[in-house]
Amino acid sequence: MKLKQKYLCWGIGLLSVLCISAGFYWWKQQPIVLHIGLYAGSSWDVPTSQRSDALDRAIQKFEKSHPHVRVEYENGIPQSDYSDWLSEKIVSGKTPDVFMVSEQDLSLLAARGVLEKLNGYMDRKDQAAFYPVAFESGVYQGQTYALPYESNPILMCVNKDLLDKEGIAVPKEGWSLEEFYEICKKLTKDTNGDGQLDQFGSTEYTWKEALAANGGHLFQEGMLKLTAPEVKESLTFLQKLEDLNKNYKVSSKDFDQGKVAFYPMTLAQYRTYKPYPYHVSKYSNFTWTCIPMPAKSKTTKATLVTTTSFAMSARTSHSKLAWELMQVLTEDPDIQQTLFAQSQGISVMPQVVKSRSSKDLLQVDDFGTDSLNNKTLNRIMEQAVEYSPKNVSKEVLEKLDYLIGNALHDQDVENRLPQIQREMESSLQVGV
């Protein structure tokens, strides 16, 4: 009887071991699942239907080289809802392993410990793969928290027909602020003799573009410097430019109607509306193109650029795999070439922008052989600066824009700047 019990115990033990072993083997065979967080459509508020093609191709490539890993993402999240969606995932402990992050959100997420520091994963070739301005978008307080995915520089769009009518050549790369002003001055006129201005030099040129053109920065050594000479010079130039219009508020609609020569536009906007069918419905009555922004000097970085990036969750259980997925998304030339072709912005990799495929792509986009080609785009990205300063919320920047706009409208910039400085310092202190 005791022998039977002994054998029974051995049998149960052996069965248990076999079951555990089988369960472990089954568990080992199950794929690891990585989750990506991203929104649907374009990052740049322009129409698109193909943005996910590059992502899906990247996932297929990654899964092929990692057969025991499956990558999943949630479809159809609108960009306007993405920050709230991501916040809910973070709070609930379900943060995606890898997720898209904007420049405005990166500082906040990094400061709160949501993002994994990437410096320990990187080597020199990782940083060297990107344009410096794109790479810097993922850096916070000296640490890298994200890798760039796609950038969108602001360019100066030009009504070529209007310039031709006035006998003015399209400005060349390296044109100055003074040249910009003089052309606008010559173009601004009453063409039909009714006593009202009906032709204008520029529209939508803001203090942000003017500040970049003068090599100025809102923040110096972490402190707001609205009273710095470069800020005053920029706003004075903008006031001088707007004075040409004699209180008429020139709008983008005026540009659409062929009445305005210059209009700052993002590359994404240009690439969206230039080809058929969009350009037919929007700008069908004149020939137009885009050129680099004017600047105080040829060495001034006058192009503002926005970049969207991918970051890694600090809570991921698969950090090595998440890093390798990020590399495929951001550093793989084939994936970046696909993104450049099917999205509207620009690749974050010089290798891709300078490629023959990109040259052919831009010609198909009808940029024109005498204006904006991939060589010019490459130089623009090499000399670009970030659009928004880090550590400053969207709300604070909107408030600053409002206050400066009022000062310009009242033609009282010189006197208002110290007051705006004090008010903005208070906003920064309370985190408005």
Please report the domains of the chain, with CATH numbers, ordered by start residue. Answer: 32-153+306-386 (3.40.190.10), 160-303+388-430 (3.40.190.10)
pTM of the model: 0.87
Convert the pLDDT of each residue in 344-360 to its tens digit: 899 999 999 999 999 98
Q: Give the model's pLDDT for residue 74.
A: 86
Q: Give the model's pLDDT for residue 284.
A: 58
Q: Give the model's pLDDT for residue 286.
A: 81
Per the DSSP assignment, residues forming a β-bridge with 99 are 37, 311
CA-based R_g, the chain, Å: 27
Q: Give the model's pLDDT for residue 365.
A: 57
Strands 260-266 and 146-159, sheet pairing: antiparallel
CA–CA separation, 149 and 137 (whole Å): 10
Q: Give the model's pLDDT for residue 368.
A: 47
Task: Give the sign of the dihedral formed by CA 262, CA 170, CA 156, CA 266.
Answer: positive
Q: Give the model's pLDDT for residue 48.
A: 65
Q: Give the model's pLDDT for residue 371.
A: 58
Q: Give the model's pLDDT for residue 69.
A: 97
Q: Give the model's pLDDT for residue 15.
A: 56
Q: Give the model's pLDDT for residue 432.
A: 42
CA–CA separation, 173 and 371 (whole Å): 9
Amino acid at 69: V
Q: Give the model's pLDDT for residue 385.
A: 93
* Token pair listed for 94: 């379900």
Q: Give the model's pLDDT for residue 3.
A: 55
Question: In the 8-state DSSP scheme, what is residue 44?
Answer: S
Length of the chain: 432
* Token pair listed for 57: 């191709």
CB 124 within 8 Å of CB 331: no
- The phi and psi torsions of 424 (rounded to 5 degrees) equal -70, -35
Q: Give the model's pLDDT for residue 175.
A: 96
Q: Give the model's pLDDT for residue 29.
A: 54
Which phi-psi region, left, alpha or beta, contains residue 195 (left: φ > 0; alpha: ψ -120 to 50)? left
Q: Give the model's pLDDT for residue 240.
A: 94
Q: Give the model's pLDDT for residue 431.
A: 47
CB 210 within 8 Å of CB 231: no
CA–CA separation, 213 and 312 (whole Å): 35
Convert the pLDDT of each residue in 226-243 to its tens digit: 888 999 999 999 999 999
Q: Give the model's pLDDT for residue 5.
A: 60
Which stretches of the chain drop beneath a pLDDT of 70? 1-30, 48-51, 274-284, 365-371, 429-432
Helix extents (H) in 157-300:
160-165, 177-187, 207-213, 229-243, 252-256, 267-273, 278-282
CB 104 within 8 Å of CB 135: no
CB 262 within 8 Å of CB 241: no
